[in-house]
Amino acid sequence: MALIQCRFFSDTLGLSTSMTVIVPQNRPDGDGHPTLYLLHGNSDDDTIWLRRTSIERYADAKGLAVVMPQAHRSFYTDMASGYRYWTFLSEELPKIACSMFRLSEARERNFVAGLSMGGYGAFKWALRRPERFAAAASLSGALNMSASSSRNITEGLRADLKLIFGESGAAEREDDLLWLVRRAADTRADLPKLYQWCGTEDFLYQDNLTFRDTCRAAGIELTYEEGPGDHTWEHWDRKIRDVLDWLPLASD
């Protein structure tokens, strides 16, 4: 595997930013390497998956490229008072990554996953752009951003959410995963496969149950798993291996 720590200019953000990429060194078959976009959490950056897990070794065994973008504390959203991170993630980033590396652009060879804030970003990307991905996964995701007053969050994060979502600090419509699930059911959208895991001691556990139950009520297919655990890398390092095993890779 090749490891690339890439700095580049984003026209969407109007600033220099970064992504960490791991790519198989062999020549890809067909149109490029199968690719996982792997999203970080609220307090981390594009290097964190590489530093806290063995994602490079796990991806190597699958022949999978992994693109890990920098998104700061944006919740992968076009912020009410800030930068357009949703547009950057969903439109600009894939074009830049595919222009630099031999990555497949085919839906059946593209996947997205993330933890915490990144779990929210992964499911939002999959639900709003279902034609892009074959599968999406959330680990300990912040999946109920429509009800900020009911969540166990710090005052600092509450202030961030006002910058991101507006004065209410709560996502509305296309930034609300629960609304997106119900819309997908109404429109009979061809969604990617969805995988969700959360620890039963995690402070986001109840929000994960809400998302699970919303999918079930809407008739949306979801692979749901839970188990003992809190909001820590010990569990995410283990579960990302399960996610890679679950992905519908052509070699499986």
Tell me: the pLDDT tens digits for 68-126? 999 999 999 999 999 999 999 999 999 999 999 999 999 999 999 999 999 999 999 99
Beta bridge partners of 197: 139, 225
Q: How high is the pLDDT of residue 252? A: 41
- Count of the separate structural domains present in the chain: 1
Q: How high is the pLDDT of residue 151? A: 58
What range defines the domain where residue 45 resides?
2-246
Distance CA 23, CA 190 (A): 29
**Residue 84 gets which letter from DSSP?**
B
Of residues 147 and 103, more confidently modeled: 103
Tens of pLDDT, residues 184-228: 999 999 999 999 999 999 999 999 999 999 999 999 999 999 999
Tens of pLDDT, residues 12-53: 999 999 999 999 999 887 789 999 999 999 999 999 999 999
Torsion sign (Cα): 200, 112, 109, 186: positive
- Spatial contact of 75 and 5, defined as CB atoms under 8 Å apart: no
What Cα–Cα distance (Å) separates residue 184 from each residue in 103, 129, 154?
Answer: 28, 11, 32
Angle between helices 205-218 and 177-187 (to 10 degrees): 10
Does residue 251 sit within a domain? no
**pTM surpassing 0.85?**
yes
* Domain at 130, CATH number: 3.40.50.1820
Helix and strand numbers, DSSP H then E, in the chain: 9, 8
Query: 16 CB contacts (<8 Å, ≥6 apart)?
Result: 7, 8, 9, 10
**Residue 249 gets which letter from DSSP?**
-
Q: Read off the tokens for 191.
A: 């969604």
Q: How high is the pLDDT of residue 149? A: 47
Q: How high is the pLDDT of residue 251? A: 55
Q: How high is the pLDDT of residue 169? A: 87
- Spatial contact of 201 and 142, defined as CB atoms under 8 Å apart: no
Distance CA 219, CA 31 (A): 34
Does residue 252 sit within a domain? no
Q: How high is the pLDDT of residue 165? A: 94
Does residue 153 sit within a domain? yes
Q: How high is the pLDDT of residue 170? A: 87
Name the residue among 197, 160, 190 with its Cα closest to residue 77: 160
- What's the order of all strands across the beta sheet hosting 110-115? 2-10, 15-23, 65-69, 35-39, 110-115, 135-139, 193-199, 223-227
Angle between helices 233-246 and 55-62 (to 10 degrees): 10
Q: How high is the pLDDT of residue 147? A: 67
Query: 84 CB contacts (<8 Å, ≥6 apart)?
Result: 12, 13, 78
- Spatial contact of 166 and 192, defined as CB atoms under 8 Å apart: no
